[in-house]
Every structure is written in structure tokens, then in C-alpha cells.
Amino acid sequence: MSKIWTVYLSGEIHTDWRARIAEAAADLPLVFTAPNVDHASSDACGAEILGAEPDPFWHDHKAAKINAIRTLTLIREADVVVVRFGDKYRQWNAAFDAGMAAALGKPLITLHDPALRHPLKEVDAAALATAREPEDVARILKYVITGAL
Amino acid sequence: MSKIWTVYLSGEIHTDWRARIAEAAADLPLVFTAPNVDHASSDACGAEILGAEPDPFWHDHKAAKINAIRTLTLIREADVVVVRFGDKYRQWNAAFDAGMAAALGKPLITLHDPALRHPLKEVDAAALATAREPEDVARILKYVITGAL
Amino acid sequence: MSKIWTVYLSGEIHTDWRARIAEAAADLPLVFTAPNVDHASSDACGAEILGAEPDPFWHDHKAAKINAIRTLTLIREADVVVVRFGDKYRQWNAAFDAGMAAALGKPLITLHDPALRHPLKEVDAAALATAREPEDVARILKYVITGAL
Amino acid sequence: MSKIWTVYLSGEIHTDWRARIAEAAADLPLVFTAPNVDHASSDACGAEILGAEPDPFWHDHKAAKINAIRTLTLIREADVVVVRFGDKYRQWNAAFDAGMAAALGKPLITLHDPALRHPLKEVDAAALATAREPEDVARILKYVITGAL
Amino acid sequence: MSKIWTVYLSGEIHTDWRARIAEAAADLPLVFTAPNVDHASSDACGAEILGAEPDPFWHDHKAAKINAIRTLTLIREADVVVVRFGDKYRQWNAAFDAGMAAALGKPLITLHDPALRHPLKEVDAAALATAREPEDVARILKYVITGAL
Amino acid sequence: MSKIWTVYLSGEIHTDWRARIAEAAADLPLVFTAPNVDHASSDACGAEILGAEPDPFWHDHKAAKINAIRTLTLIREADVVVVRFGDKYRQWNAAFDAGMAAALGKPLITLHDPALRHPLKEVDAAALATAREPEDVARILKYVITGAL
Amino acid sequence: MSKIWTVYLSGEIHTDWRARIAEAAADLPLVFTAPNVDHASSDACGAEILGAEPDPFWHDHKAAKINAIRTLTLIREADVVVVRFGDKYRQWNAAFDAGMAAALGKPLITLHDPALRHPLKEVDAAALATAREPEDVARILKYVITGAL
Amino acid sequence: MSKIWTVYLSGEIHTDWRARIAEAAADLPLVFTAPNVDHASSDACGAEILGAEPDPFWHDHKAAKINAIRTLTLIREADVVVVRFGDKYRQWNAAFDAGMAAALGKPLITLHDPALRHPLKEVDAAALATAREPEDVARILKYVITGAL
């Protein structure tokens, strides 16, 4: 009857970092949650389900709000929130998720290349760990849950 | 004895948008708060006050945490949070502030060029208004407080 | 240094009920707050400030969200929320405000004709008083603040 | 061990919209909750259980409060709240539920005919999606939970 | 997978009202919780476990605090709180529990003889139902959970 | 600019204990708040303002709810809550206020004769001080505010 | 389907007090949680997983924050928090945990030798029980859960 | 109308660190609050006001709870909490205050000699700054409030 930890994996969707964490942590009592990581459906969901919008602002708005139903709910019920930043794209949604996690008092782990240190200093300041590789996150989770290094 | 509204102005520090809002809203019962907008002292405060760090990560960490004493406090007591995104730099701290404001239930106004629409769609989805020019924000505040367009 | 009570007056905007409460309670330590009660600007504010929308849904959406900056803020800081229902129009915003006030734990006073009893039974069930005339609300406020009937 | 989502279906009780959502979402990990949707018992419960009241206000009051034991509890533990408005009746309880859901930070989906757009603009402004048909709600839930369109 | 409701039964410990509710509600998805209803151990627990106290105030204090570990925990996780008042003894602990339940936003049901109406008016004012017999409480719970009268 | 402490004085209304505290603490930066302590108007307010009720339950109910507008508001904004129990009457409203104060995390001081120790043990267990005389409460407030015994 | 109680065991890691509680409470519906009680890995985890730090402050900082992911999460979801103080070492982390538990409203049990009474008076003042031996804690838990002494 | 910051100064009472911060920050818009820093009255207040206790545990308990009325209230309304640790005494109350401040989300500054680094690592991990000298704290406050180094 040991606790199952729920870990939300926010941010960058173009590399296999989620799979690498999951693989490295495969034998731990963990449930991973995440946003929809398929870029195409994530952009299209509003128009597909609720009707097309000629104005791209409202096209995006409808999609972003439907995605928020998922992200808000899963962030709120996560034990730990991991946010990954890559070196491409704006990734403001990742930083937004980190801000929400911080304000909700969720333990936050950031995952990024050291080269991103300076622009991420405010986000890292709110984190309980800043990791470089997905496997480091898995090691943190292993240690946190089991006490074993 | 009418209410004094407190408005936190987060984000971009390289243009005069804060001054433009303040000027356009000069006759309203408003107090504007903001992070330290001086880039140099904002980066140096940790090392200056608490001692130099050879590792740039900890140099930034000490500064970012001291800055957080101010930003956390002022965001929490704001009535409205305005977050401005420019087209340069990563600006993850701006998106982080927006996420905190959203999780705290603060009315959020975003301010950015329409060209940034797509990467900001998740942030805009949490906002009660998305403005293009600082003067638009001032008009919103005027209308919200006085009812006059 | 006696307490100044803040009372939010939500709902119907077509009769002079707010003025009647204010007049009947003129000598009490009260601040009344309210939504923008001008129908025209309340509908137009989004398009006026942030640009016209061809689709009436988004036209209304932009306006409603700007109005929410005011209503959310003022309901949250009210000591007491009064919600008035008339016999015309849908007035779903009034019931919405009442639901927010109830969930926030605000003391709620409803004000309506007895003929509306049945459709308002869920709202009245959450209220600490149901009054028929604006002057009754003023008498309640006088009694609550001063103890005098 | 995937998450079971709890979705509260508030509002209109005269059409089969709840059944249509449930059918369209039959294979999803969902639990639907709702108020008592039987009009007769919903009105009679107070008098039936706790004794008749000659005054119709108290007759309704006793019933509405007993119903609130259910609705308050289920709204508070819902992941998502769907509120349906029809074109008949006052339906202030539906808007009241929406206001509670909004104040509690619940993701809100509204469901109504476009003809009701204007009087529902404040409620829609607080929603993360506004759907026209029950099957649209089911599609949103499917997408939110599975990521599939 | 229907919801199991947790109902805390606070107050009077000299009659069989808890058993009567449990019997009348035997086939419902309910878990009943309660304080320790054995008067002797409830008074003695502090001295028995942590050592005797010559001063009766501290004797009682140690016991009351240990009992609070249970009552606080169970009230906080209850869906519904029922508080029963009899006509003997001071029963201030019952009213105290009702105050806690009200402040925590728990749906509250009071159970007492109509003769106690006047001194209980403030407690009843915070309740969603005031019942006379334990079987009435069971009927309320049945209706709330199943919708059947 | 020293802090003004707000102290809510709940409970017994038949002796001059409030005046005795106020007199003994006359030179401290204190604001005392209290329920309406006039028994007659406290009972009559519902019927007087909102109309007579033939059923004494609803007569009392209307009054108790109007009084709750005051008591809820003032308890929530108090720094300290003092609850006085006398040896007459049921005084369940006093214990109810104490329960609310405890659940809201307010520092609680109880004031009663030692003879009431046993029935008040649960209430005293939640208090930070249990005083015998009103002047003791004034001494506590003086010490808390100034540090002087 | 009786409740499983979760009890967090904070503090001193050099004696077998956790095992003694667990043994004495072996047949109760209890889950015990705790920080990592291995001193070596607790100190080394930051450097081991995220890289060595030449400055001992940051060495400790990285470790302490990773440990906080576990302690924060487990304290927040505990029903009861037990904090044990020994007579060696500073044990400020134990007192820190007690302060967090108190602010979160968790029922707190302290466990220490009477000789530590005076320096622990503020911590004991926030506790619902102060025990001397681990077996006393087990007896409290048994009584709280089952009502049996 | 600039904000007045409230800073609670917790911990060690044997040196003049509070005066040194106040002097170094004399021209800032700051209000400093603190526990009663007089050791003798802090220990004696319970017995002096509410009567002597033969058992030293209850002697201390009464005093500690009266002191908690002050400390709880002032910590809760502080903008920033500073906790000072010296090298003498147990100082568990200081760590307890730090834990409360952390759980309440207050920006926390610790102040101690580097020699105390290791035993304070969990407390420092929750702090936004760790200072060595009182004047460093004053510099942090000056920078936080004015932006000037």
C-alpha cells in the first residue's frame, strides 16, 4: 500500500525526454501525466470540435482553453511538476506552467541545458532541483521515493 | 474613499511601456507596482549583498531569489496583473509571473504584438484581456474603475 | 475608527434600486460597489478598446471578460453581496455572481419580488436574507452594523 | 491505473442531454455526477422528509437546502463542471452552479444554443469551452483525456 | 464505482441515535465516522496514556486534545456533518463541532427536538437541514445520494 | 503606525464583561467587535425587517441568519476571538463561534468560571488561553500587544 | 473499508523510535511515512545526482532541496505528524517540520524527554499531545483510531 | 502612498541584531514586528496572568500559548519573515517559526553564522536569502523595496 506518486511532465514536446524519464524510472510507483504532446491536435482541437474560426487569435484561443482543461486539472493533482525547456521556440507555456506549479506550492523540478541558465534564473529559483538530463530527473524521483541513490 | 487599485506591471524592461500606461492613466486612483526594472542591479543584487559566487548558476540563483521577495509579495497583493511580452529575449520570467497570477486567481491582462499570438496562446487563454498597446491597457483600467469608455 | 462595510450590489440594472438602498442607508459607514450599470458601455467595451469583432460571440466575449476584471475584484473584497433579480431578462449574470459569492463564503442577501420565489429557490437557499424592497436591504445593513432596528 | 475523471452535469433537466453525453463518451474513464434531475422529488423533498410548510417560500427553502447537500458536495469534488442552458424557464440554479464552479477554480464547459449567446456572455466568459451539442462536450472530454480528436 | 459518502455523526452520546441512522441507512454507500462515544475512556485517555494530572483542568485538557486528533481529522474529511443535541448536559462540544463544520464549508445537518429550537437558532441557521428523528437524517442521506424519496 | 488589534468578544450577554475588558484595556491600540448584544432586537430582527412568521422556527431562523451577516464578518476579520461562557442558558451560539474561530485559525481565548471546566474541555483545548475574569483577558491582550506584564 | 491513517514520523534519526512505534502499532490501519532516515545519502543526494559543489553551502543546499520534495509532499498528505526530538544535535529540521505541520493545521504529536521541556515549549504548545516514549505514541494512535485504551 | 512593508524578526534574543537591522534600514517604509524579546516576562506571562502552576510543563505551556497569540498573528500578517539563529541554546522556536512562515508562503530570510550551515540546511533551503550580518538583511530589504543596491 505504498504511495503512488503522480508526476506531471510539462514543456518541450520535440524530443523523447518524457520516454527517457519513464524508462529510467520504470520500476518505481509512479504515474506520469502530461499535456497533449501532439502538436497538430493541440493546435487544432478548438476548431475541430467547436467549429472553425477565421481569426487566428480565436482559433488559437479555443484550442488553448480546451487544452487548459487538461493541464490545469493534472497540474493541480500532481505531487511533483517537472518542466523541461529546450533551446528552440518560445516555450512560454512551459514557464507559465512552472509559475502555476510554484503558486500552488507544488515541488518543481526544472530540466534544461546549462546554456539556458540565465534566462531561466527566475524559474530555477522557484525549483527544488534543476537537472540537465532526463535520467537525472529519474534519479531524483527514485531517491525521493525510495531513499536509494 | 473610493478604492485605490493596485496593478502589477510584469515583463519586458527595455521599452517605456510602464511609463506610457502610467501617463495615460495618470488621473485614475491607481498604484502601479513592478519588479526592479534595472537589468544591472537585478542581476547583481545577490553577489553585491551576499557575496560573489564563482559559479554563474549560483550567482544568478542568489539574485533571482532576492528579486522573488519583491515579485512574490507584489503579485500577491495586486488587484490586477499586466504582463508585457516583447519580441526579444526569452522572457520566461514574464510567463512565469503570468502563471503565478493565474493560479492565484488574479485578473490578468496580457500586452503584446499580434505577431506573438501563437506562442502566447496558453498565456492569453488565462487572461481577461489581450492588448496591443500600453494605452489600451490604460483604457481598460479606466473603464474597469470608472465605467467610462 | 469603526469599520467601513463594503457592500457589492449585483444584478438588475433597469430600476433605481441601488440608489434607493444608498439613500435609505445614507448615514451608515458603508461603501457600495457595483458592476458597470450602463448597458451600452458594458456591451461595447471590448470592441471599443480592443477592436471590433465580426462574430457576435467574440464581441460579447471580449466585453464580458473586461467586465469580469471589475466584478471579480469587487465581489472578492466585499463584506456583503446583495443580488437583485427583476422580472425581465435572463439575468444569468446575477445568479452567476450569487454563486461566486456563495462559494467565496460571502454573506449574501437576495432582493426580489415574491413571485420569483420558485425559480430562485436555490439562490435564496444560499442567502442569509431574502428581501422584497431595497429599503429592506438598507434596514438589514443598518441593523447588522449598528444593532438598531 | 489511469485517472478516472469526474464530470458534474449541471442545469437543464427536460431533455436527454446527459444521456447523450454519457452515450457518446461511453468508453472513456469518466464518472458523471449530477443534481437530482427528477423535478417532482426535487421540489417535494423538504416537505416529504421534514414536514409540510404552509408558506411556499419555506416549502421551497427546505427542499433547496437538502438538494444543496448533494450539489455542493458533487461540484466540489468534480474535475470538470458542465452547465447546460435551455431556452425555457429561468434556470438561475444553473447559472448559480456555474458561478460556484468558477469561484472554486473548476474547469467549466457551457452547453447552449447560440441564440442564448448574449444573456450568457458572463457565464461563457468564465468557461474554458462553449459547446452547442452534447456530443461536442463528449468530444471535448475525449480529447482532454486521451488527446485524440 | 459510485461515490462512498462519509458522514460524521457528532454530539450526544447517551442514546442510540447513531445506530438508528446506521440501521435506517444500511443499504446506502455510506461510511459513518464519529468521535469516541465511550464517556469513560474519552475522559480518561490523557491520564491513562500520558500520565495522571493532579489538577482536573490539565487532566481534562490532555484528554480533550487527544480526542481532538480524531475529531479534527474526521470532520475535515467528512462529506456531511450531522450534529445531534439532546436535552441534557451542556453539549458545548457538539456546538463547537458544528461551528468548525460550518467554517470548513461542510454541509451540516442538525438533529434535535423542536423544544431546543430557540437556543439552537444560530446553529440551525448554518445547517442545510434540521431533523427531529434519526430516521429523518437517514431519509435525507438516502435522498441526497440516490434521489429517491 | 503600530498595529491596531481587532478582538471579537463572543458569548454571554447578561453581565458587563465586555465593558470590564474594555475599561481594563482602555489605553491599548484595540478595537473590540461583538455580536448585537441586545437580546430583544437580536430575536426580533428577522420579523421586524422582513415580515412576521407564524412558525417560531422560521421566526428564529430569519433572525439568526441576519445576525450571522454580522457575526461571520466580524469573526473573520478579528485578530483574536474571546468567547465568554456564563452559568446560565445553553449558550450554544458561543460554542459555535468558538468552533468557527478554531477552524479559521484565529487565536482563541476562553473566559469562564472554573466550575465549567469539564463541559468546556473541548473548547478550552482549542484555546490559547483560558481566563477566569475579564480583567485577565485585558492583561493577556496588554501583554500580547506590548510585552509588559 | 475503514480509514487508513497516514502518520508522518519526523525528526531524530539515530535511535529506533520509528521501529518501536511501528511495532507497537502493528495491527492498526496505519501507514507510516518519514523523511529519508539515512544520514549519508540524505547529505550526499544533491552532489551525487546533480553534480559536486565545491562550496559546502551549495552542496548542502542541493541536498536539502531534493529532500524537501519528499518531506513537503509527505507532510502535506499526512493525517497526523509526529516529531521526535533527541538530546543531541541541533535538530532544527525537526522543529521546522513541526512549524510546517502546525501552519497546515495537521494534528501534531511531539515525542521527547521531559528534560527538553523548556526549549520545546513553543513546539509543545502547538501539539495535541506530548509523549515521552514511542510506545506512548502508539497508544495514542490506537486510542484515536479505535477508541480503545 | 507607497507600500509599507511589514517584516517579522524571529529568533535569537540575546544580541542587538534587531536594533542593527532597524538602524541600518531607518529610512525605509518598514514596520518591524517581533515576538516579546524579554526572556523573563516571556517565561512568566502564563503564571503571572492566569495563575501559578506547580508542574513546570504546564507553567511553560501556559506561557508559550499566550506568546503564540502574538507570534501567530504577527507572522501571518508579515510581508517578509527574518529568522536569526545564534550559536547558543536550542532555538527550536526559531526553526518552528521558519517552518510556519514557509508553509504560509512567506518570503523567508535566514540570518546566521556560516558555521551553522549544516544543521540549518533544511531551513536555508526554504529561504529566499541567507545572510550573515544584520546589515546584510537591511541591504536586502532596501534593495527589495527601492531597487537600489
Query: How remote is the C-alpha of D53 from its chain's centroid?
Result: 28
User: How much is the pLDDT for G2?
Assistant: 83
Identify which of H4, H49, H73 has the shortest CB distance to residue F143.
Answer: H49
Average pLDDT over residues G83-105: 97
pLDDT over 60 at A119, yes or no = yes
pLDDT over 70 at D79, yes or no = yes
Q: Does E88 touch chain D (CB under 8 A)?
A: no
CB contact under 8 A, G149 and E44: yes
Cell numbers describing residue G135: 510506545
- Grid-cell match 443499504, residue found: E27
- Grid-cell match 427531529, residue found: E132
- Distance, in Å, from the CA atom of D94 to the CA atom of D12, rounded to the nearest integer, reads 7
Q: What is the mean pLDDT of chain B?
A: 97
Q: What is the mean pLDDT of chain A?
A: 97
Identify which of C64, C94, C124 has the shortest CB distance to residue D125.
Answer: C64
Average pLDDT over residues A112-135: 98
- Distance, in Å, from the CA atom of H98 to the CA atom of H108, rounded to the nearest integer, reads 7
Q: Does A73 touch chain D (CB under 8 A)?
A: yes
Average pLDDT over residues E74-95: 96
Q: What is the mean pLDDT of chain H?
A: 97
pLDDT tens digits along E13-66? 999 999 999 999 999 999 999 999 999 999 999 999 999 999 999 999 999 999
Say which DSSP state G27 is in.
T
| Cα→Cα distances H21→A61, G14, H5, H27, Å | 50, 38, 14, 11
CB contact under 8 A, F65 and E96: no
- Distance, in Å, from the CA atom of H2 to the CA atom of B34, rounded to the nearest integer, reads 12
User: How much is the pLDDT for H132?
Assistant: 98
- Distance, in Å, from the CA atom of C103 to the CA atom of A112, rounded to the nearest integer, reads 40
Share above pLDDT 70 across residues of chain A, in percent, rounded to a whole number: 99
* Interface present between B and F (3 or more CB pairs within 8 Å): no
Partners of B62 on chain G (C-beta within 8 Å) are none
pLDDT tens digits along D1-18? 589 999 999 999 999 999
| Residue H149 and residue B41 in contact, taking contact as beta carbons nearer than 8 Å | yes
- Distance, in Å, from the CA atom of B72 to the CA atom of B61, rounded to the nearest integer, reads 16
What is the secondary structure of A22-37 as a DSSP string? Answer: HHHTTTSSEEEE----
CB contact under 8 A, G92 and H122: yes
Amino acid in position B72? L
* Confidence band of B11 (pLDDT split at 50, 70, 90): very high
H/E element holding C80? Answer: strand C80-84
Share above pLDDT 70 across residues of chain G, in percent, rounded to a whole number: 99
Residue of C nearest to A57 (CA): C58
pLDDT over 60 at C66, yes or no = yes
Partners of F140 on chain H (C-beta within 8 Å) are 49-50, 66, 69
Pairing of strands E80-84, E5-11: parallel
H helices of B25-133, in order, are 39-50, 56-76, 92-103, 121-125
Neighbour order of strands in the sheet with B5-11: B30-33, B5-11, B80-84, B108-111, B129-131
Residue of G nearest to E71 (CA): G144
Average pLDDT over residues H2-30: 97
User: How much is the pLDDT for F1?
Assistant: 55
* Confidence band of A2 (pLDDT split at 50, 70, 90): confident
Partners of B4 on chain H (C-beta within 8 Å) are 1
Number of C-alpha atoms within 13 angstroms, CB side, residue C38? 10
User: How much is the pLDDT for G1?
Assistant: 55
User: What is chain F's length?
Assistant: 149
pLDDT over 80 at H100, yes or no = yes
* C-alpha dihedral sign at E109, E112, E115, E118: negative
Identify which of H45, H62, H70 has the shortest CB distance to residue F149.
Answer: H45
pLDDT tens digits along H76-97? 999 999 999 999 999 999 999 9
| Residue D103 and residue C104 in contact, taking contact as beta carbons nearer than 8 Å | yes
User: How much is the pLDDT for E1?
Assistant: 55
Cβ-based neighbour number of residue F27 at 10 Å: 8
CB contact under 8 A, E117 and F57: yes
User: How much is the pLDDT for C93?
Assistant: 98
H/E element holding B88? Answer: none
Average pLDDT over residues A50-69: 98
* Confidence band of H28 (pLDDT split at 50, 70, 90): very high
| Cα→Cα distances D41→D10, D38, E143, H37, Å | 17, 6, 9, 64
H helices of chain C, in order, are 17-24, 39-50, 56-76, 92-103, 121-125, 134-146
* Confidence band of H1 (pLDDT split at 50, 70, 90): low
**Could you tell me the pTM of the whole model?**
0.98
- Distance, in Å, from the CA atom of C116 to the CA atom of H143, rounded to the nearest integer, reads 58
What is the secondary structure of chain E as a DSSP string? Answer: -PPPEEEEEEE--SSSHHHHHHHHTTTSSEEEE-----HHHHHHHHHHHH---SSHHHHHHHHHHHHHHHHHHHHHT-SEEEEE--SSS--HHHHHHHHHHHHTT--EEEE--GGGTTTTHHHHHT-SEEESSHHHHHHHHHHHHH---
- Report helix angle G92-103 to G56-76, nearest 10: 40
Q: Tell me the nearest-neighbour CA distance from A9 into chain G, angstroms.
A: 16
pLDDT over 80 at G50, yes or no = yes
User: How much is the pLDDT for B1?
Assistant: 55
pLDDT over 60 at B73, yes or no = yes
User: How much is the pLDDT for B2?
Assistant: 83
* Interface present between D and F (3 or more CB pairs within 8 Å): yes
What ipTM goes with this model? Answer: 0.97
User: How much is the pLDDT for A1?
Assistant: 55
Which B residues in the span 1-40 are in contact with C, Cβ-Cβ below 8 Å? 1-3, 5
User: How much is the pLDDT for D1?
Assistant: 55
CB contact under 8 A, G125 and H101: no
Average pLDDT over residues F21-50: 98
User: How much is the pLDDT for H2?
Assistant: 83
Which of F93, F50, F76, F44 lies closest to C147 in space, CA to CA? F44
* Confidence band of G58 (pLDDT split at 50, 70, 90): very high
